[in-house]
Amino acid sequence: MTVIATAGHVDHGKSSLIRAITGTDPDRLAEEQRRAMTIDLGFAHCTTSNGTVLSFVDVPGHADFIRTMISGVSGVDIVMLIIDANEGWKPQTEEHLGIIEVLGISSGIVVLTKSDKVDAGLLQQRQEEIAARLSTSSVTWHDTVITSVVTNTGISELITQIEKLVAAQVTQSQNTRPRLFIDRVFSMKGSGTVVTGTLEGGNLEAASSLIVARTGTAVRIREIQTHGSVVAVAESGSRCAINLSGIDANELQRGDALVCENDWHMSNAFDARITVLPALQHALTHRGSFTLHVGTRSQSATVRILQSENIDPGQPGLVRIRFEHSLPLVPGDRFLLRDTGIGATVGGGVILDVDPRGRVKDAAPDGSPEQILNNRGWLTVDEARQLTGKDIAPIVGKWVASAETLRSTVTALEQQLTISVSLDTATLAAYERDVISTIDGVHINNGIAVRGESDPLLNHPYVSLFLQAGVTTPDADKLDRNIIRQLVQKKILFEHDNIAFHAETLSSMRPTLEQLWAQHPEGFTMANLRDALSITRKHALPLGNCLDKAGLTKRQGDLRVAGSAW
């Protein structure tokens, strides 16, 4: 479904036009009626004679409400730039145009209103002025429509024009990760908390669970309405009102986003490509106080310029922006930056990296999934989707990585296997465990990886005997010495005083060791170890020595401190 927003200077006839098209006055507040101006966002919809549903967001034109205006146009598909034929181009016409452009809205119609107040000559002059102003605009502007709500001129022509644009919109049939930036919150007697917003990224079903991105609070959808009717499923792109349970209206605010748990990366910073508006009087530097607008959220932010000291008006550049309230973001999202001090829009653009890690001076984001993967090493399929917004096929197990990362991991593992003959896979990172099993000629038995021909020794019953015995192992002197010696040589067993432990038993003691050092930061004694594991002295002493041999601990007098492999 397509959402159409108004834009333009105060009093130029935006709300009157929405009323003429839909029959609904978008100015619903008493204060708006009294002051005869739009203060908050207004919403109205209608179904045209050919069955097209038109869904409008009406924004305020007054300069004081620019934040509200930005939240209204963010995420819409089509904009109507409304200009009073009598007054012509005004400051907020200019400012709103800049906002529309940096937010990346691609399609627009200019509407020249109040034609009943001007003669043909002035109308002609206005059209020429507007054409000149829009000649370098990045928005595709369709034929200008001349209207008057007093004489009912041009309204049906405008509706036909909008129908055509709506039909031409490519509906992105993605149904993956719904996100709803809230633009209104209220409490309704009997049903409780209701939020409204334009749904994006995927469909939402009644009874689903969601979380509030800013606070992590879990909520449940009680009922969904689109355009006044209850629906089982709200489609991506539609305006919807959602009745929520599990939260009070006063715990939510405009700008909050509702998403499914674990679906999105929550950002407090991003790297982005920004275009500084040509109208800005000075270059953009990190100095100044800034307000960041993303979705319907506005909040203060700090700015760092990447690869340069400043960005001149009219020029593109790269920035890193940090902010306090977490937002569910993905590369490709649009943002807008305002200078709070001078009250002007600085510019805006496209988010490239929602989880920038490197230092500002080294960052060179390009927004490609390849670069994001390369910068981040190994990611699970879910993490990769959160960071890139794309479903990327795993390369090994559930893991996603660039070919380069895979190569360097394989090389590192091969090196380790060359140095130490066998490798206890319990000591490896989860992705390394999956990678090592894919390396040609590597065999894994009972958690021990070896290179070369599969070693029959690894299948020897002693291996599982010791593995299962844990810390209370059988006396090695009652077993075949020769086998034990070979297993010790291969570092599958560690032995002291005829008591041997499987390598995995030793590495599985990491949590116990961590606890012991938490209680005895200066180092623990054999008595401490014995008590922690409830084992006898007979096993505790050799265990301590074997932990030393495996490098997990190191002896210092009577105490054990962390070893080189810790």
Q: Is 14 in the site for Mg ion (CB under 5 A)?
A: yes
Nearer to ligand GTP, 56 or 524 (CB): 56
Q: How far is the CB of 305 from ligand GTP (least distance, A)?
A: 35
Cβ neighbors of 516 (< 8 A, separation 6 or more) are: 524, 528, 529, 532
Q: How far is the CB of 356 from ligand GTP (least distance, A)?
A: 38
Which of 271, 269, 323 has the alpha carbon at shortest distance from 301?
323
Nearer to ligand GTP, 90 or 520 (CB): 90
Q: Is 16 in the site for Mg ion (CB under 5 A)?
A: no
Q: Are 565 and 491 within 8 A, CB to CB?
A: no
Number of residues in contact with ligand GTP, rule: CB under 6 A?
A: 20
- CA 429 from chain center: how many Å? 25
Q: Are 31 and 106 within 8 A, CB to CB?
A: no
Q: How far is the CB of 32 from ligand GTP (least distance, A)?
A: 8
Q: How far is the CB of 97 from ligand GTP (least distance, A)?
A: 15
Exposure of 335 by Cβ count < 10 A (0-12 exposed, 13-18 middle, 19+ buried)?
buried
The gap between the terminal CA atoms of the chain, to the nearest Å, is 57
Nearer to Mg ion, 38 or 553 (CB): 38
Q: Are 108 and 100 within 8 A, CB to CB?
A: yes
Q: Is 38 in the site for ligand GTP (CB under 6 A)?
A: yes
Q: How far is the CB of 6 from ligand GTP (least distance, A)?
A: 7
Q: Tokens for 81?
A: 């730039």
User: Which of Mg ion, ligand GTP, none binds 504 (CB below 5-8 Å, type-dependent)?
Assistant: none
Exposure of 78 by Cβ count < 10 A (0-12 exposed, 13-18 middle, 19+ buried)?
buried
Nearer to ligand GTP, 32 or 432 (CB): 32
- Please report which helix (H) or strand (E) contains residue 370, including its range: helix 369-376
Which range touches ligand GTP (CB under 6 A), out of 30-38, 450-458, 487-495, 521-529?
30-38
User: Which of ligand GTP, Mg ion, none binds 148 (CB below 5-8 Å, type-dependent)?
Assistant: ligand GTP
Nearer to Mg ion, 15 or 74 (CB): 15
Which range touches ligand GTP (CB under 6 A), out of 114-122, 264-272, 414-422, 472-480?
114-122
Q: How far is the CB of 60 from ligand GTP (least distance, A)?
A: 5
Q: Is 114 in the site for ligand GTP (CB under 6 A)?
A: yes
Nearer to ligand GTP, 62 or 133 (CB): 62
Q: Tokens for 249?
A: 């209206």
Which range touches ligand GTP (CB under 6 A), out of 112-120, 226-234, 441-449, 510-518?
112-120
Q: How far is the CB of 35 from Mg ion (least distance, A)?
A: 10
Exposure of 551 by Cβ count < 10 A (0-12 exposed, 13-18 middle, 19+ buried)?
middle
Measured between alpha carbons, how far is 435 from 444 in angstroms, rounded to an integer? Answer: 12
Which range touches ligand GTP (CB under 6 A), out of 13-21, 268-276, 283-291, 533-541?
13-21
Residues of this chain, 40-79, that bind ligand GTP according to CB under 6 A = 60-62
Q: How far is the CB of 16 from ligand GTP (least distance, A)?
A: 3
Which range touches ligand GTP (CB under 6 A), out of 110-118, 195-203, 410-418, 429-437?
110-118
- R_g of the chain, CA atoms, integer Å: 33
Q: How far is the CB of 272 from ligand GTP (least distance, A)?
A: 30
Strand order, beta sheet including 107-113: 42-47, 53-58, 3-7, 78-84, 107-113, 140-146
Instruction: Choose which of 5, 13, 144, 389 interacts with ligand GTP (CB under 6 A).
Output: 13
Please identify which residue in the block is written with the tokens 């145009």: 97
Q: How far is the CB of 357 from ligand GTP (least distance, A)?
A: 43
Nearer to ligand GTP, 56 or 462 (CB): 56
User: Which of ligand GTP, Mg ion, none binds 108 (CB below 5-8 Å, type-dependent)?
Assistant: none
Instruction: Choose which of 7, 8, 13, 15 interacts with Mg ion (CB under 5 A).
Output: 15
Q: Is 254 in the site for Mg ion (CB under 5 A)?
A: no
DSSP string, 335-362: EEEEETTTTEEEEEEEEEESS--S-GGG
Q: Tokens for 266?
A: 């929550």
Q: Is 38 in the site for Mg ion (CB under 5 A)?
A: yes
Which of 318, 323, 293, 321 has the alpha carbon at shortest distance from 306?
318
User: Which of Mg ion, ligand GTP, none binds 383 (CB below 5-8 Å, type-dependent)?
Assistant: none
Please identify which residue in the block is written with the tokens 């307000």: 291
Please list the alpha-helical segments (H only) found in 63-102.
66-73, 91-102
Q: Tokens for 503?
A: 């390598």
Instruction: Choose which of 2, 14, 22, 303 interacts with ligand GTP (CB under 6 A).
Output: 14
What one-letter code names the amino acid at 407? Answer: R
Which range touches ligand GTP (CB under 6 A), out of 148-156, 167-175, 224-232, 398-406?
148-156
Cβ neighbors of 195 (< 8 A, separation 6 or more) are: 180, 182, 184, 185, 241, 242, 244, 252, 256, 258
Residue nearest to ligand GTP (CB): 61
Task: Give the start-end residues of each E strand in 391-433.
Answer: 399-400, 422-424
Q: Is 113 in the site for Mg ion (CB under 5 A)?
A: no
Instruction: Choose which of 25, 116, 163, 235 interacts with ligand GTP (CB under 6 A).
Output: 116
Q: Tokens for 397?
A: 């197990």
Number of residues in contact with Mg ion, rule: CB under 5 A?
A: 3
> What one-character DSSP code corresponds to residue 170?
P
Q: Are 566 and 551 within 8 A, CB to CB?
A: yes
Which range touches ligand GTP (CB under 6 A), out of 147-155, 394-402, 491-499, 514-522?
147-155
Nearer to ligand GTP, 62 or 322 (CB): 62
Percentages (nearest 5) of helix, strand, coil residues in the chain: 30, 30, 35
Q: Is 154 in the site for ligand GTP (CB under 6 A)?
A: no
Nearer to Mg ion, 61 or 98 (CB): 61
Q: How many CA atoms are closer than 13 Å to the CA of 178, on its beta-carbon side? A: 27
Q: Tell me if residue 324 falls in helix, strand or coil.
A: strand
Contacting residues toward ligand GTP, per CB under 6 A? 10-16, 36-38, 60-62, 113-114, 116-117, 148-150
Contacting residues toward Mg ion, per CB under 5 A? 14-15, 38
